[in-house]
Amino acid sequence: MAKRFPQVTKVIFDVDGLLLDTERLYLLAALKVCSEYGKKYTRELKAKVMGKSEKEATRIVVDYLQLPIQPEEYKEKVRAEHMKTFPSVALLPGAETLVRHLHKHNIPMAVASGSSNWSYNLKTASHKELFSLFSHAVLCGDDPDVKAGKPHPDCFLVAARRFGDNPDVKEILIFEDAPNGVEAASAAGMPCVCVPGEWTDRSDVTAKSTIVLDSLELFRPEDFGLPSYGS
Ligand SMILES: O=c1[nH]cc([C@@H]2O[C@H](COP(=O)(O)O)[C@@H](O)[C@H]2O)c(=O)[nH]1
Ligand SMILES: [Mg+2]
């Protein structure tokens, strides 16, 4: 089958809103905590923080809504909500099939997320075997090599270096759901498949994505020179 886009040889997946259905859980937690102070956590505010590191996202929310608490206290309150919901989070449609397919064909794969280690461990707890198929996870919140979170390109460039053989950035395909992540992929010089979640406006990701899909289930590996399903 002919390629539609340049050949890629490696893949990096975003986590929240792309592999895991966590974005609705982030929303519920933020709505609950902000409402305790009579504040409304809006779609516009959510779009600003999706993909950011926990530290940055926390500061942005507290500043934007002028919450009468320190960012650290906001973070702890939100974490208390996440402890209730993250351990049973579901995978998004198409995620498991795609990851297992690429792994079967020995395509090097990593994940790169705005998450902290704490949050990543909690939300991947019931999907440990699937997440063990990635060669490495770059977690912006706690990784000493990541100087700036998405939309800066650092997390994807660090993940690329850890593949080990100094790969060409143009051969590394990013999967993202949010504007900050698409921006980061573009800044890294990497092609990007965007699957916009419920809280991402298509118009915010179209220009800098290689392709925009309604679901991971619609991704055709052969379009990027990867082995097709069934092969
Ligand atoms: O409603 C929200 N969505 C997402 C985030 C932040 O975005 C990251 C998601 O990163 P990614 O999509 O890169 O996995 C989360 O770890 C969190 O820090 C947030 O604060 N609030
Ligand atoms: Mg995401």
DSSP string, the chain: ---SS----EEEE--BTTTB--HHHHHHHHHHHHHTTT----HHHHHHHTTS-HHHHHHHHHHHHT-SS-HHHHHHHHHHHHHHHGGGPPBPTTHHHHHHHHHHTT--EEEEES--HHHHHHHHGGGHHHHTTSSEEEETTT-TT--S-TTSSHHHHHHHHTTSS---GGGEEEEE-SHHHHHHHHHHT--EEE---TTS-GGGTTTT-SEE-S-GGG--GGGGTSPPTT-
| Least confident interval from 1-5, 55-59, 203-207 | 1-5
- Residue range 184-207: mean pLDDT, rounded: 96
Task: Indicate which CATH number applies to the domain containing 139.
Answer: 3.40.50.1000
pLDDT averaged over every residue in the chain = 96
**68 and 140 both lie in a single domain:** no
Does 3 score more than 90 pLDDT? no
The residue out of 69, 88, 107 marking a domain boundary is 88
Does 160 score more than 80 pLDDT? yes
**150 and 41 both lie in a single domain:** no
**45 and 150 both lie in a single domain:** no
Ligand that comes closest to the CA of residue 53: 1
Structure confidence by residue, pLDDT tens digits, 170-194? 999 999 999 999 999 999 999 999 9
- Domain-embedded: residue 51: yes
- Domain-embedded: residue 95: yes
Q: Say what the pLDDT of residue 141 is.
A: 86
**151 and 48 both lie in a single domain:** no
**96 and 198 both lie in a single domain:** yes
**17 and 34 both lie in a single domain:** no
pTM > 0.90: yes or no: yes
Structure confidence by residue, pLDDT tens digits, 67-115? 999 999 999 999 999 999 999 999 999 999 999 999 999 999 999 999 9
- Domain-embedded: residue 2: no
- Domain-embedded: residue 128: yes
63 catalytic, yes or no? no
Atom index in ligand 1 nearest the CA of residue 177 equals: 12
Does 57 score more than 80 pLDDT? yes
C-alpha 113 – ligand 1 centre gap (Å): 8
The residue out of 48, 63, 88 marking a domain boundary is 88
**Number of structural domains, the chain?**
2
Domain extent at residue 52: 23-88
- Domain-embedded: residue 213: yes
C-alpha 77 – ligand 1 centre gap (Å): 16
Q: Say what the pLDDT of residue 1 is.
A: 59
Does 164 score more than 70 pLDDT? yes
**176 and 213 both lie in a single domain:** yes
Ligand 1 neighbours (beta carbon < 6 A) = 14-17, 23, 26-27, 30, 46, 49-54, 57, 113-115, 119, 150, 178, 181
